[in-house]
Amino acid sequence: MMMNEALLNVKDLNVSYQNLHVLFDVAIEIKEGEVVVVVGRNGAGKTTLFRTIAGFLRQDSGAITFRGQDIGHLPAYDVAVRGLKYIQQDKHVFADLSVKENLELGSYATKDYDWDRVLVHFPKLKTLMDRKGGNLSGGERQMLLMAQSLLGQPDLVLMDEPTEGLAPHVIDDLKGVFKKISEQTTLVIIEQNLPLTAEVADRVYAMKEGKIVAEIRDKQEIEDLAFEKYL
């Protein structure tokens, strides 16, 4: 693959929930090493877009290519195995399993047992290995989900509202983590926290009523929250 070729390419994507048309001709392009943030109000179709890319929903029409390969009709597990991971919005870790077992599940699926490479970003998890997932705080769960998804060295991670419901100091910590992780993998994040978006994003897509209504590439415009007018 050429360096300037898109890592992920979504073209003319249309998605419906039975008779309810949710995404209309959505097109996005993600290049390797970028941090792209998708913003939009509730119901704009952001999560539907992510779930379709991740293989959990089927598109009515359009194309999704990842590293030049069509992944639009692959099941979710196959998409994950190919290096495109999705972290759901609900911060759902396996509550009855320990942190260690949660990580083992991430390792077993990807055959990547290099935990040191991952846990260097989340040192706190090292002290919580025997704690059940259900007893973790919101921030700790998010860290565990991110650590789990980084096993297997994915090329692209989709994160659905990773800071939702977290305390400000935890969000500050995660901000640093996003920057470090983005040195290893490409990140596409759905985020409602606009100041955070301004800090971490290289590019921003704004969504409204199932459509991409703007793409902001200029860093200065992103820092000035120019995308706010599209929401």
Taking the CA atoms of residue 143, residue 171, residue 139 and residue 204 in that order, the dihedral angle to the nearest 10 degrees is -60
Gap between the Cα atoms of 115 and 54, Å rounded: 24
85 binds another protein (CB under 8 A): yes
Distances in Å between the alpha carbon of 201 and those of 48, 121, 148, 204, 225?
Answer: 21, 19, 23, 7, 11
Q: Which helix H or strand E contains 104, and what residues bound it?
A: helix 99-110
> Which residue from 53, 58, 152, 136 is spatially nearest to 95, judged by alpha carbons?
136
Q: Are 130 and 103 in contact (CB under 8 A)?
A: no
> Which residues in the 205-224 window bind another protein by CB under 8 A?
none
Which string of x and - marks every residue 29-58 that binds another protein (by CB under 8 A)? -------------------------xxx--
CB of 203 to another protein, least distance (A): 24
CB of 51 to another protein, least distance (A): 9
66 binds another protein (CB under 8 A): no
Return the residue of 11, 29, 65, 101 that touches another protein, per CB under 8 A: 101
> Which residues in the 108-147 window bind another protein by CB under 8 A?
108-111, 113-115, 119, 125-127, 129-130
153 binds another protein (CB under 8 A): no
Distances in Å between the alpha carbon of 222 and those of 21, 214, 229?
Answer: 30, 12, 12
Point out which span in 38-46, 107-115, 175-183, 187-195 binds another protein (CB under 8 A). Answer: 107-115
Given the rule CB under 8 A, which residues bind another protein? 54-56, 75-78, 80-81, 85-88, 92, 94-97, 100-101, 103-111, 113-115, 119, 125-127, 129-130, 148-149, 152
